[in-house]
């Protein structure tokens, strides 16, 4: 069982920072960054392997395909139940928070900035811990 980490954010600085944090906290040694939901969706469709499980750090507001459109799109895909999502957003909008509750894949909702503390908490969640090798 391997856990692939995808970082989806239209802000390249966040992609950089989130990649760094994911690595430094031992969640994954090789997270993959995407600039919006669409490029990540295309990647999953092209490269999904039935043995892979995914942890996706997902921003909400993005051009092309935002978080909700992305989540709606993956629901009928074979990997839908192998995806765990952590929303990482700069929004402090209560509406977004309520909407996040509608998706079973979402395991956590974090307001930016993501930090070491948040990463450690994600790492020790019962649904994540089994994948952590070190």
Residues of the shown chain interacting with another protein in the complex, contacts defined by CB under 8 A: 11, 13-14, 17, 20, 24, 61, 90-93, 111-116
Closest CB 110 distance from another protein, rounded Å: 10
Closest CB 90 distance from another protein, rounded Å: 4
What is the distance in angstroms between the CA of the first residue and the CA of the last residue of the chain?
14
In terms of CB distance, is 17 or 32 closer to another protein?
Answer: 17
In terms of CB distance, is 9 or 83 closer to another protein?
Answer: 9
Using DSSP, state whether 81 is helix, strand or coil.
Answer: helix
In terms of CB distance, is 76 or 95 closer to another protein?
Answer: 95
Sign of the dihedral defined by the CA atoms of residues 61, 105, 126, 123, in that order: negative
* Beta partners for residue 84, in sequence order: 55
60 and 66 Cβ atoms separated by less than 8 Å: yes
Closest CB 84 distance from another protein, rounded Å: 22
Closest CB 21 distance from another protein, rounded Å: 8
In terms of CB distance, is 10 or 52 closer to another protein?
Answer: 10
CA 94 to chain centre: 20
What are the residue ranges of helices labelled H in the chain?
12-24, 37-47, 67-74, 94-100, 116-123
């Amino acid at each position: 069982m391997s856990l692939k980490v995808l970082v989806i954010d239209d802000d390249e600085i966040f992609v950089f920072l989130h990649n760094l944090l994911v690595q430094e906290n031992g969640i994954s040694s090789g997270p993959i960054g995407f600039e919006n939901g669409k490029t990540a969706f295309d990647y999953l469709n092209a490269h999904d392997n039935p043995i892979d499980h995914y942890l996706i750090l997902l921003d909400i507001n993005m051009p092309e395909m935002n978080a909700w459109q992305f989540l709606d799109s993956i629901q009928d895909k074979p990997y839908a139940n192998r995806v765990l999502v952590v929303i990482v957003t700069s929004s402090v909008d209560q509406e977004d928070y309520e909407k996040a509750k509608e998706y079973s894949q979402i395991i956590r909702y974090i307001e930016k900035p993501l930090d070491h503390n948040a990463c450690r908490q994600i790492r020790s969640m019962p649904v994540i811990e089994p994948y952590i090798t070190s």
